[in-house]
Amino acid sequence: MNAPALQARIAAARIGERRILQGIDLAVPVGRWTAVVGPNGAGKSTLLRCMAGLLPCEGQVSLLGRPLADWPARERARTLAWMGQQEAGGEDLRVWDVVMLGRLPHRAWLAAPTGADRAAVDAALRATQSHALRARRLAELSGGERQRVLLARLLAVQARVLLMDEPLAHLDPPHQADWLATVRALVAAGATVVSVLHELNMALQADDIVVVRAGRIAHHGAAADAATHQALQAAFDGRIAIRQVGDDWVALPRAGAREAA
Ligand code: ADP
Ligand code: MG
């Protein structure tokens, strides 16, 4: 059997004195889109940062069957791409240069970008409808425009495994639909996508859903499974209901459920 894209066996992850994650045992399969969902503060971002190797944790994370620590840094950076939540910095950089940062793991030290680097940046800008922004500075963009540029930087890496923390924040519905098409195309091409999402209706379109609650994985299953829907409803204290509409599953807020509970 093929190694999972990511395997996380994390006994604990701490920030300062606080234990944020515990007892995590998660295998993310290759070539699928996994959505990570759960209430605010559940530990979703912490889990993603551990899996990206950005936060030390007690345990081991493996990328494509090899522990993160055993990967040469550049090869790992070409294989695993990361898009964080509310990333700051680089405000004076122009959009083109921000997206070109995604090419750093492919480039020789201090070498000028190659034709392949430029082509990757161009394709990433077009895929995120941000080509027209390429000469603007990051500081001059709206929240949604900025989010698309960060997505373009992630795509420019051309990594096999992509981690995204709340990539849909600030995106209007047409750009959310573009993001969905991009993710489906990546997965169809064999890439693995893991995205933290607050938009449950989007998460329900993923292949698999991981439900995080209070620092633990409460459930991991196919997005279409009844057990997954039950776990989602439980994670949000019965304040949502999941219903089938045509071929899709949708999550609906339940007014008054707090009183009934
Ligand atoms: P989520 O992404 O699910 O909303 P996070 O992983 O960001 O949750 O946070 C999980 C918990 O860790 C929260 O209780 C949060 O307050 C805490 N936390 C996150 N970052 C820090 C930090 N830098 N210092 C202290 N606590 C933190
Ligand atoms: Mg978060």
The CA 199 to ligand 2 mean position distance, Å, reads: 13
Q: What would the pLDDT profile of 79-98 be if each residue is shown by its tens digit?
A: 999 999 877 778 899 999 99
Cβ of residue 20 lying under 6 Å from some atom of ligand 1 = yes
Atom number in ligand 1 closest to CA 40: 4
Q: Would you state the pLDDT for residue 90?
A: 83
Cβ of residue 54 lying under 6 Å from some atom of ligand 1 = no
Cβ of residue 45 lying under 6 Å from some atom of ligand 1 = yes
- Which ligand is in closest contact with the Cα of 84? 2
Instruction: Give the single-character DSSP code of 111.
Output: P
Nearest residue (CA) to ligand 1, atom 5: 43
Nearest residue (CA) to ligand 1, atom 15: 41
End-to-end CA distance of the chain: 44
Owner of token pair 């989007």 = 202
Q: Would you state the pLDDT for residue 254?
A: 86
Cβ of residue 43 lying under 6 Å from some atom of ligand 1 = yes
Q: How far is residue 24's CA from residue 21's CA, in Å, rounded to a whole number?
A: 7
Q: How far is residue 28's CA from residue 56's CA, in Å, rounded to a whole number?
A: 19
Q: Would you state the pLDDT for residue 261?
A: 42
Owner of token pair 């994985």 = 217
Cβ of residue 16 lying under 6 Å from some atom of ligand 1 = yes
Q: What would the pLDDT profile of 205-229 be if each residue is shown by its tens digit?
A: 999 999 999 999 999 999 999 999 9
How would you write the pLDDT of the chain (261 residues) with one tens digit per residue? 689 999 999 999 998 889 999 999 999 999 999 999 999 999 999 999 999 999 999 999 999 999 999 999 999 999 999 999 877 778 899 999 999 999 999 998 888 999 999 999 999 999 999 999 999 999 999 999 999 999 999 999 999 999 999 999 999 999 999 999 999 999 999 999 999 999 999 999 999 999 999 999 999 999 999 999 999 999 999 999 999 999 999 999 987 655 544
